Amino acid sequence: MLNHEEQTMPFNRVTEKLPKHLHKFMVQQPYGAYTAQNQAVWRYVMRINISTLKHRAHESYSDGLKKTGIDENTIPEMEGMNRILKNIGWAAVAVDGFIPPNAFMEFQAYNVLVISSDIRTIDHINYTPAPDIIHEAAGHAPIIANPEYSEYLRRLGEIGCKAIASPKDDAMYEAIRWLSILKENPQSSETEISAATNHVHKLQNQMGTLSEMAQIRNLHWWTVEYGLIGTLDTPKLYGAGLLSSIEESALCLKKEVKKIPYSIDAANVNFDITNTQPQLFVIPNFSSLSFVLEKFANTMAIRTGGLEGLQKLITSKKLGTLELSTGIQISGIFNSGIEANKRPIYYQTNSPTALSFKGTELIGHGTEHHANGFGSPIGQLEGINIAIEDMSPKDLEVYGIIEGQTTRLQFEGGVRVEGEIITGKRDLQGKIILITFKNCKVTYLEDVLFDPSWGVYDMAIGKHIQSAFAGPADSDSFDDLYPLSNKKTTKTTYSENEKQLHNLYEKVSQIRTSKLIEVDAIAAILDEVTNNYPSEWLLLLNLYELVYDKEIALSTKIHKQLLKLKQNKQFSKLIHDGLELIIKK
């Protein structure tokens, strides 16, 4: 893993719009920490992919590489990418490995591409379960140059960041993050990796009923990460996981991998990040992505609200928001609710809570005021056909809902509010959205829900829950929305032997850049590699590229060494593909 400097990236016209709670995930790309071997890994993967994907990938891939400024020879610098990405309305930020799903989605909603600036090790050159700059920059970035796909990605983020998660999702996120860290850390033991892998599989088998977040992650996986486009018989690649993996970009098109028409059913198809995919979904065109996304969004609590929405928030045990029919929004951690006739009649939070209207916190109703939680009835008054929110000033007077007057409000379902009205808040159209009482007692049957000794009572007005979603209505109401994981990536420490190897890679890179074939220098490097690094296939390929068809004797010597290494199954296809690339060039 690279050493991420403790500072954020410079802001630009896209990233400056990001809310403050996302800033902590942004890190400065540690460009100086990339070794010459890291650069060689990037170059190898990109050259192989560009060569093969021009026949396998959607046409947007090749066009997108040019539009996003991705160079096959050099790991991209984030600042350089941003100068080009701004032309298509996007930006990129560096992060440290996997970040929480809701945060990831929210970045996307702001047209910001999250890029893990780590790069896979040479041992995982074919595929890595960890997010890395090859996957993010070379996989995701090119396709967003397609306007239709770009809008889908933004919209997926906008809807996805409101998806309600469950505690099991949190456990799965932490388990996958830890596994990815271990797998990319050369110092990890096989025992550690095996234990972490088994833990991920155990959690996958215990997921049970999928949360909204689990379902939206499935949709994301089967489209953004592993999507195919075209016909079932002759699909093309557009998913970043396929575009960035030498291995899977070839395997995915084989008949052994089942091809399924993409539909909303994909939301319930789980994936295994530790293995290649047994099936993939195919879209006919990019516009179909948005069609399925909207169909799924119609099933989410953000659009359906109601009792199920409240129950989802209670199950999540995380910060969420209820929006009532008046537009007033209650943001907090919901811990209980009361229902009657399959309808919610009361809800309660047990955390600091903020009240908002249309995404803006109501003055005087932040978390300081509602530090111990908030509860309020929902619905209409018993025996009265008109809801409080629809009452005119005259109606309010008729039913005794008047400032300075003690009143008793009996709600359908059994909740009773008794107290003296202090004041009320109204929206711009004059409809009342909040009533504040003193000396107030709230009861349900024999249970006391609010006691006069607890202070003033604020009652949010609404005859039903019209929306429920993850996160706050106003992000400024809360300081820390997404906690940072306590499982940190580790800085890779290199031995003197490894540093010398990286130095040899640097020498080869300098010779290639200078375009001056220094036979003695190349021969010396070859001797050192042969004697001290007998399994170093990639450096040999780079040497062979320099002398192929230029220095026959040296070329033959390197080629023989490569053929010897090619007998090792681990390196066979990697060397074969590298040689093919050199010969074609």
DSSP calls for 7-53: SPPPP-TTGGGS-GGGGGGEEB--GGG--HHHHHHHHHHHHHHHHHH
- Shortest CA distance to 484 belongs to which of 27, 140, 14, 163? 27
Residues 35 and 509 sit within 8 Å (Cβ to Cβ): no
Q: How far is CA 390 from CA 346, 379, 383, 451, in A?
A: 19, 12, 15, 28
Rounded distance between C-alpha atoms, residue 59 and residue 53, angstroms: 9
pTM metric for this prediction: 0.89
**What CA–CA distance (Å, rounded) separates 51 from 124?**
20
Report the half-sphere exposure of 384 (CA within 13 A, side-chain side). Answer: 20
The sign of the dihedral angle between the CA atoms of 190, 196, 198, 204 is negative
Q: 54-57: which pairs have CB atoms within 8 A and are 24 or more residues apart? A: 56/236, 56/237, 56/249, 56/253, 57/236, 57/237, 57/238, 57/243, 57/249
Nearest CA to 37 among 544, 447, 508?
Answer: 508
User: Tokens representing 120?
Assistant: 């896979």
Residue pair 159/216 in contact (Cβ under 8 Å)? The answer is: yes
Structure tokens at 358: 């249309």
d(CA 370, CA 367): 5
CA 9 to chain centroid, in Å, comes to 19
Rounded CA gap, 438 and 440, in Å?
5
Q: What is the pLDDT of residues 517-565, one digit of tens each?
A: 888 999 999 999 999 999 999 999 999 999 998 888 899 999 999 999 9
pLDDT at 5: 46
Phi then psi for residue 332, to 5 deg, are 180, -170
Q: 235-237 and 432-444: which strand pairing?
A: unpaired
User: Two tokens at 484?
Assistant: 């940072």
Task: For residues 440 and 221, give the distance between their C-alpha atoms in angstroms, rounded to a whole number.
Answer: 51
Distance (Å, whole) CA 291 – CA 286: 9
Q: Which whole-number Å values give the CA distances from 15 to 162, 174, 188, 215, in the listed order?
A: 20, 26, 35, 28
DSSP helix, strand, coil percent of the chain (3-state; round to 5): 45, 20, 35
pLDDT at 1: 52
What the block records as the tokens of 278 is: 């047994």
378 phi/psi in degrees, rounded to 5:
-130, 145
For residue 180, the SS3 value is helix
Between CA 141 and CA 115 the distance in angstroms is: 10
The list of the chain residues with pLDDT below 70 reads 1-10, 13, 129
466 vs 322: CA distance, rounded Å: 8
Q: Structure tokens of 173?
A: 């996120």
User: What pLDDT shows up at residue 6?
Assistant: 44
Structure tokens at 325: 């029919």
Q: Distance (Å, rounded) from C-alpha 266 to C-alpha 268?
A: 5
CA-based max dimension of the chain: 104
Measured distance CA(76)–CA(83) in Å, rounded = 12
Nearest to 403 by CA among 428, 434, 377: 434
Retrieve residue 571's tokens.
Answer: 């390196």
Which residues pair with residue 330 across a beta bridge?
A: 322, 355
Task: Fill in the amino acid letter for 232.
Answer: L
- CA distance readout (Å), 312 to 164, 282, 303, 350, 454: 7, 31, 13, 16, 28
